[in-house]
Amino acid sequence: MPKSVDFIVDDLNERLRLAPGDSGTILWKDFYADYGIQRFKAPRPDQIKEQARAKFGLIVSFGDNVVNVAYDRNFNPI
């Protein structure tokens, strides 16, 4: 059974908190396996993004190869 949006957002925050930097990536295959997801379709991605931003100030983006998670702050100016 797929994990709830609340569980996913809390886990992404905890993973990033324990990571050595202010951003991180998760391979899609790991994202699906870790959260028990079979099909990932709307509105779930938007719910995850919105809740992560509101609850923890995280930016979550879904790329072709990875899921990106980062803090919404100027941690590495370019």
Residue at 77 is within a domain? no
Find all residues with CB under 8 Å of 16, minimum gap 6, and list them: 22, 23, 24, 58, 69, 70, 71
Residue at 50 is within a domain? yes
User: Packing angle between helix 5-18 and helix 44-56, nearest 10 degrees?
Assistant: 50
pTM: 0.93
Residue 12 is predicted with a pLDDT of 98
Counting as low any pLDDT under 50, the low residues of the chain are none
Q: Closest Cα to residue 58, out of 75, 40, 41, 34?
A: 75
Residue at 78 is within a domain? no
Range of the domain at 45: 5-71
User: Token digits for 34?
Assistant: 């870790």
Look at the chain and report how many structural domains it folds into: 1
Residue 43 is predicted with a pLDDT of 96
Residue at 76 is within a domain? no
Residue 76 is predicted with a pLDDT of 85
